[in-house]
Structure 1
Amino acid sequence: MALPQPAGMMRGMTLAPPDHEAIAAEALEAMDGARQIVPFSARYPGLTLGDAYRILARLCELRTARGERVIGRKIGFTNRTIWAEYGVYAPMWGFVFDATVRDLPPPRQAAQHPLTLALFAEPRIEPEIVFRLAAAPSPDMDETVLFGCIDWVAQGFEIVQSVFPGWKFAPVDTVIANGLHGALLLAPRHPAGFGSTTDWVSNLACFEIDLLRDGTVVDRGHAANVLDGPLSALRHLVGLLARDPVNSPLAPGDIVTTGTLTRAFPISPGESWGTRLHGIELGGRPVWFA
Structure 2
Amino acid sequence: MADTPSLTSSDGVMKSDFAQVHGPSSEGNPEISSGPRHEEVHMLLPHRGDNGLDGLSVSRFVPPTYDEALLGIKTKIARQEEVLRRHHVPRHWKPPGHRIGKIAFNALCLMSFGHAGLDSVWAAIMLWEEGDESAWAEGIQQTLDRLTNINVVASLLLSTCAAFITTPPPNPAMVNYTLRGPYLCILGSFALLIGGIIVCSASLLVTGKARPYWAKEVLYANRFHVYCTLAMLSYPFVSIGIATLLLAFGLLSAVWSAQDRGSACVIVLILPISMAVLFGVSNATAKAKSRLRERESNA
**As a proportion of its length, which structure holds more helix?**
2
Please tell me the TM-score bracket, short chain as reference: under 0.3
Find the structure with the greater CA-based Rg: 2
Structure possessing the higher relative contact order (Cα contacts under 8 Å, 6 or more residues apart): 1
* TM-score where L is the length of structure 2: 0.24
> Of Structure 1 and Structure 2, which has the larger fraction of its residues in strand?
1
